[in-house]
Structure 1
């Protein structure tokens, strides 16, 4: 009996009806060439697979190799799972299109041979005898970036007959794709910030330090604890188009054990704002952008997580009319109707919405992060600064200028193009130009002067009795 791993024991056994009178003699009757049987621990703890990454591979059945179309393999998010996506070759008997998920359960070395024991799950596996398989493997390096593993799979749930990585029930040659992918680098205007957040902060894009891969994760909101928060990894496979402010990229997409290729179009909107459109996940990199229809997908608006500011557009003081919240008209100033929009007057990167409630001026302040224009529509991403501002972490202001003035709408997820400014959105309002920042300064100065005058009169009234007494 041999303990190969904490999860695996191999043993030899004698014939059932042995004529030997003692146990010692029975054990001595087991020959050196007796077959090894394999036992696996019940509910074993998986172990990291010896080969991880993305691979293309061919496989041999009998004496024929299935190499075209190419088969693919890739690691799952956890370190102990691997997907083997076999393609069918019409001229190879036994070759078929089949997707298998391999869970690695044990690895060990016997002399110069590397062993691995695992569990295969597919539509064809029905019993444990179908699922458990033994493997031997050997790394290779052919130079020129051609690295990978020779792998042989057993024909049953034991390790019997596995002696060479070139002969066996199923022989596979896995070639690593990592070197080809490593040459792909994301645009500098995207990697200038390594952390990007969607406008509502529910989606986060983290760019790894080598600037060729992105981790996309979801932030769980209240009441969402325990829900699926599995992240997605995007690895740059190829840049098909690149300009000063846009790029088309083929990403290798992986989430859990699901993997494929995804086309993405990236747009630089401002130094601190980018937008991305992600296509469907497809099996091959060649097809990712070939059938990508940009009109079918919405923009995802991303803001640099460091919250850098940027000068606001439409500098000046504007009168507000027709305020709507979630499609309902608001007329009462104490219920959220504001009367003045001030942009960039007190600070170039600050926007204010003012209202007069019970003879008090209330202000909701926002800091501008970036803006851009498409045709006749202007987009601005900002975040609230004051407590009286809405609770959203960031908002997108969408505006359009017409002969009647400026029409504004705000959105809390992304800068959607289908919204009609001034009529739709979380907040909608219209403004007329009331004056530039000099008028705002004059108004502020008048308020200050009025306040000083009022204080002076109060002091004078307080001193009059003293003069009268004399």
Structure 2
């Protein structure tokens, strides 16, 4: 009887080894897993051990992979090269019965088709050339005629991963046409020659096969050559000057359409690389001679194209010339070359006024073609105006002014309440608001970030901890107490504007900090609704988020360990059943 059970175990052992082999089989690197698009074949998915339409990974050596196709019961070799996080290229053997990885890979000859796949969606990259270019182009393989009269253009965009092709039709050349195409760079790499891969966008282009293209390029200072593939692969590109479609690019040394940067912004501006406006919508990323304005709301819009990556760069401003302002040294003016998100470039005038080390008043004049009149006052009648501050996540809160608890009357309504400054916490303002007509009570909490004095006005930048926006509050002493109002430009004019949320008359003397309502924590004072309870909703706990991500990442890295654990569990189960049978 014992021999039977030993024989049973002996029969199970090969299955056990097979299970180990399958459970610990080769896996694809994490950096190539995900969704991809391949010309002519459509989407494919690379999981930890399988590729759509190709098969399951059975063995690998370096970048050579042996795949088993269950439906066809055969094996093939794939040699995969990862040129960029967004681009893979591979060659493959025929699917054969033999399963020797070296023998199959040796069957891939040098003339085998080179397949290109692009990640979807891809995070764009900076294009390898910037600025304005004119170009002549050829769209025919039957002759070498180039469309050069009129010249076509490449225009830069605010986002350095984009540019716009403006093709122009040449007389007597039916293969040319007038068209505008937006292009986004998705990958660059070198393999003997320099390559660029990206995506065209236009209402006339409706399929991925039409949109994705591969370039081979070569640039020498002010000129360059590019060839473009005929489809979404990189096949057919022989050199930057030989291809189905080629172009020759030129740039003028100081073209008015892309003038040289000849000045730098002031140190108080460029010392901090990242600023934001009070609304939280716009973020400025600053360098010495250039800065970009990003619109954070752009990423919140709905995207219907699964391949699309919504850019948030709204405007790029390059410093061209600074203006000597000896009569008003508080305001510094600069002529800038501004490029917007529609790839339109014009001159604008920039006015910077330092209100505090952490607060700058920024005015951007209207866009004009003439740089010589760009800084006239008439160009600022409809200027873009911002109060910008350092990113408040990196700003230490400051003590709020006028410590105490004040009764207040709302100038724009019949509402009233308590204005509590610096009592519960030195950097906190608590506003207990009551409106008799509606019987509504509420509590708002603000944290003071910056405070400074200008003449008889005290300004405070305060933000709500659960919101991205901040407010500028102006305090002015009055006969009855203190007038406090909010203004997006930190002005000191105290006209009554009903649209302001905070426009209060605080009554003196203050009641001090001794007779306050209970602190607003887990519950508001009786009859009040509080927003303090939601202070942490806007910014999730990063520690928890990172921890969760770490668990997920670790899980993917420990797949082999988990598989081995399953193997031991499987084997222990079998042994348990065998022992039970023996007993």
The bucket for the TM-score relative to the shorter chain is: 0.5 to 0.7
Distance apart, 1:135 and its partner CA: 2.7
Gap change, CA 1:120 and 1:193, over 3 Å in 2: closer
Shift in Å, 1:277: 2.9
Check the 8 A contact 2:400/2:429 in 1, yes or no.
no
Deviation at 1:300, TM superposition (A): 1.8
1:65 aligns with 2:148: yes
Is 1:420 paired with 2:495?
yes
| Structure 2 contact 366–380 (Cα < 8 Å) conserved | no
Which aligned pairs between 1:304-383 and structure 2 lie closer than 5 A?
A: 304=390, 306=395, 323-324=409-410, 327-330=412-415, 335-336=417-418, 369-372=451-454, 378=457, 380-383=459-462
- Alignment partner, residue 205 of structure 2: 125
Q: What's the offset of the Cα at 1:64?
A: 3.9
Q: Report Cα offsets for 1:366-416 as digits up to 9, x if no partner.
A: 68622446xxx957234499x9xx9998642346789x7787342275436
Structure-1 residue corresponding to 2:386: 300
- CA deviation vs aligned residue, 1:407-426 (integer Å, no higher than 9, x gap): 73422754368872597633
* Distance in 2 (alpha carbons) for counterparts of 1:352 and 1:48: 43
TM-score of the pair, normalised by structure 2 = 0.46
Q: How does 1:49-448 map to 2 (within 5 A)?
A: 51-61=127-137, 62-65=145-148, 70-74=153-157, 76=159, 81-86=161-166, 88=168, 94=176, 96-104=178-186, 107=189, 109=191, 113-116=193-196, 118-127=198-207, 130-141=210-221, 146=222, 149-154=224-229, 159-160=235-236, 162-163=238-239, 165=241, 169-173=245-249, 175=251, 183-199=262-278, 203-208=282-287, 210=288, 212-214=290-292, 216=294, 218=296, 230=312, 234-239=316-321, 241=323, 243=325, 244-246=329-331, 247-250=333-336, 252-253=338-339, 260=345, 263=348, 264-278=350-364, 289=374, 293-297=379-383, 299-304=385-390, 306=395, 323-324=409-410, 327-330=412-415, 335-336=417-418, 369-372=451-454, 378=457, 380-383=459-462, 395-398=471-474, 408-411=483-486, 413-415=488-490, 420-421=495-496, 425-430=500-505
The answer for unaligned runs of 5 or more in structure 1 is 12-26, 343-348, 356-363, 435-439, 445-470
Structure 1 pair 288–45 and aligned structure 2 pair: CA distance change class (3 A) = farther
Task: Assess if the C-alpha contact under 8 Å between 1:250 and 1:289 holds in 2.
Answer: no
> Structure 2: 5+ residue runs without aligned partners?
1-76, 83-87, 93-106, 138-144, 304-309, 433-445, 513-583
Question: How far apart are the structure 2 equivalents of 1:287 and 1:39?
Answer: 53
User: In 1, are the aligned partners of 2:471 and 2:487 still within 8 Å (CA)?
Assistant: yes
Alignment length, in residue pairs? 371
> Which digits, 9 at most, give the CA deviation of each residue in 1:205-237, with x for residues without a partner?
4434x46335647599xxx89998946564424
Q: Aligned residue for 2:525?
A: none
Distance 1:322 1:296, change over 3 A: same
Structure having the larger proportion of residues in strand: 1
Task: Quote the Cα distance in structure 2 between the aligned partners of 1:118 and 1:100.
Answer: 10
> What secondary structure sits across from 1:55 in the alignment?
coil
- Structure 2 distance, partners of 1:365, 1:421, is 24
